[in-house]
Structure formats: structure tokens, C-alpha cells
Amino acid sequence: MTENAFIHRFEPATRAGSPPLLLLHGTGGDENDLLGLGSMISAGSALLSPRGPVLEHGMPRFFRRLTEGVFDEDDVRRRAQELGDFVSEARQRYGIAAPVAVGFSNGANIAAALLLLKPDVLAGAVLLRAMVPLSDPPRADLAGKPVLLLSGQGDPIVPAGNSARLAALLSQAGASVTHRVLPAGHQLSQADVTLARDWIGNIDAEAA
């Protein structure tokens, strides 16, 4: 799948040195959904926002699932490879560095899969309401790669043990993981925005 095969939006950076963001929407979203969030958490960053290529009852997603919370893992692997290729080609086309993924729900899950399957594609990730994407993930080298995982205490979709397992999995692969459990459900809250903005600001400062 070529870069042009993904419907997407790209907004160039308006502030030098800001990390580019790869925005990955949740089920039923599209390439416009997270542009506002991206601007709020990292003003001036280049924003690369693809639409998930899989349709579930007409709703875009980044990979197939069998039932809620049960993923088609062969499809997860294939779609993560395709997304990685898209990012690599988009980087050349738009002249951006490796992005920090900002994914919500289904988008966070494909971002987690991308970290495990093609770790060089991303500079880091903000995973909002993510689950473990693969039951038997490959051994990945995420040495020092920053990851922010924000979970909802009352999330009816993501069990607390699942998000904790994802944090442990990424940490064991060497990522520098910050995992916060917020008094929220599956939807995002102002706390998510504030924490993500502060976290990106910190990694931006460290990179500078």
C-alpha cells in the first residue's frame, strides 16, 4: 500500500523544532478528528492524520476486530506494516522527522502495534485508552523511546489489567513508559489533554 492509498490530512509545522505528530483516530473517526487535539497538545507541530482503511459497519478503523476487545491479529500485523510504510513515505514527501503517534482507542491500539512491529517508525507515542494489540508480540527494541499511556479508571472497554499489561510489555521492551490511570471512562477528558501537552513539552525540551 502506497502513501497515497491512505486518505489523510497534513498540516505543516508552524514552530521550528516541534515534534511532528501522527494522529490516529478511534473507531468511526476520520482524518479530521484529532487535528484539534494535536494542536492543543503540541502547538506548532506538523500534523499527519490518516484515515483508517478498514470499515466496520461503515465506520473507519485501522484494523479488523472479531468482536469488541478481540482483534484479528493477522490483520493487526498487516495493517501496522501498511501504516509504517505510509509514515515512511509521508516523511519523505513532507520532509518531517519520525513522528510521535497520538492515538485514541483503535488508533492507540494500532500505534502500540506499530511500536512493537516497526519501532523505528515512531519517535514515541501518546496512547489514549489503549489495549494490548497482540497476544504474542515480537521482541522489540524500544530502548529509551518515550511512551505516555493514559487509561480510564471507569473504562468499560479496556480492562485495567489489560492496560497495565501493555505498560509492562512496552517497559520490558525498553520504552520509557509513563502510565496514568485517570478518573474517566473511555472518552477523553481535559486531564488527558493537559497531561499529554505537558508530556510532549517535556520530551520536546529534552530533545532540544
> What are the catalytic residues?
105, 155, 186
Alpha-carbon distance 100 to 196, whole Å?
Answer: 11
Give just the sign of the alpha carbon dihedral 158, 80, 71, 8.
positive
Three-class DSSP labels, 42-90: CCCCCEEEECCCEEECCEEECCCEEECCEECHHHHHHHHHHHHHHHHHH
Cell numbers of 188, please?
A: 477523553
Single-letter amino acid, residue 200: I
Q: What are phi and psi of 82, to 5 degrees?
A: -65, -40
Report the chain's terminal Cα–Cα distance, integer Å: 34
Alpha-carbon distance 206 to 78, whole Å?
Answer: 34
Single-letter amino acid, residue 126: V
Alpha-carbon distance 25 to 192, whole Å?
Answer: 15
